[in-house]
Chain A
Amino acid sequence: MNSIEDRVRAAAQAEASSLREVRPLRLPPDASPRRTPRSRLAARRTHGWRGWLLPVTAAAVVVAFAIALVTIRDLPNGPTAPPSVPPTNSGVPPYYVTLYNPPQSSPTPTATGSGQPAGAPCPAGAPGCPAAAATELLVGDTLTGAKLATIAPPNGADFYGVTGAANDRTFVVDTYHSGSVSDFALPRTFYRLQIVPGAKSPVRLTRLPLPSMTGMFAMALSESGTELAVARMSSKANDQETWLQIYSVDTGRLLRSWSTDNGYVFDRGADVMSDSNYGLAWVDGDRAVDFPYNYESRGAPTTIKFRGRTVRDTPIIRHLAVRTVDVTASGGDLITDSRVLWSVVIPETGGYSSGTCGQYQDALVSADGKTVLCVSTYGPDTYRPASKIVPWHLEWQAFSVTAPKTARTVYGFTVDAPIASSFWLNALWSNASGSAVIGFWYSGSGTTKPVHFGVMSDGSFRAFPVPPSVVAGGPVTIAW
Chain B
Amino acid sequence: MDHLKTEEADVGGWTAAQHVTALYQAHALSLARLALVMLGDASAAEDVVQDAFLGLYRRWDRLDHPTAAQAYLRTSVLNGCRTALSRRARYGVLSADTGAADRPSAGPALESAEATVVHDEEQQAVLAAIRRLPSRQREALVLRYYLDMTEDQTADAMRVSRGTVKSATSRAIAAVGRMLGAPVSSSNNRSGEGS
Contact = CB atoms under 8 A, between A and B. Distances in A.
Of the candidates B58, B71, B101, B141, the one having the most CB atoms from chain A within 10 angstroms of its own CB is B101
Of the candidates A22, A31, A48, the one having the most CB atoms from chain B within 10 angstroms of its own CB is A22
Contact of B22 (A53, A60, A182): A53
A347 B136 CA distance: 17
Contacts of B105: 240, 263
Given A12-B142, A181-B184, A263-B104, A19 B10 contact: no
Interface stretch (A73-81, A103-111, A184-192, A428-436): A184-192
Contact of B61 (A10, A34, A239): A34
A335 B96 CA distance: 10
Contacts of A316: 86, 89-90
Contacts of B37: 12, 15-16
A259 B194 CA distance: 7
A271 B162 CA distance: 9
A19 B33 contact: yes
Interface string B133-159: 010000001100111110111011101
Interface string A291-319: 00101111000000001000001101001
Contacts of A38: 61-62
Nearest to A266: B171
A25 B13 CA distance: 21
What interface size band does chain A fall in? 35 or more
B31 interface: yes
A240 B192 CA distance: 16
Contacts, number: 369
Interface of B is mostly: helix
Contacts of B53: 25
A118 to B, nearest CB: 29
Interface in A241-281: 241, 243, 254, 257, 259-264, 267-274
B64 A11 contact: no
A39 B60 contact: yes
A446 interface: yes
Contacts of A27: 17, 20-21, 54, 57
B185 A187 contact: yes
Nearest to A354: B159
Of the candidates A15, A50, A181, A340, the one having the most CB atoms from chain B within 10 angstroms of its own CB is A15
Interface string A383-407: 1111110000000000000000000
Given A15-B40, A64-B153, A65-B71, A46 B14 contact: yes
Contacts of B162: 473-475
Interface of B: 3, 6-7, 10-11, 13-14, 16-17, 19-34, 36-37, 40, 42, 45-47, 49-51, 53-54, 57-68, 70-72, 74-75, 86-87, 89-90, 93, 95-105, 114-115, 118-119, 122-123, 126-127, 130, 134, 141-142, 145-149, 151-153, 155-157, 159-164, 166-167, 169-171, 173-174, 176-195
11 contacts: A12-B130, A18-B119, A39-B61, A46-B10, A58-B30, A214-B188, A235-B183, A237-B181, A257-B194, A259-B194, A313-B87
Interface of A: 1, 4-5, 7-23, 25-28, 31-36, 38-39, 42-43, 45-50, 52-66, 179-187, 211-215, 217, 232-241, 243, 254, 257, 259-264, 267-274, 293, 295-298, 307, 313-314, 316, 319, 321, 323, 334-336, 338-340, 343, 352, 360-361, 383-388, 422, 424, 445-447, 473-476
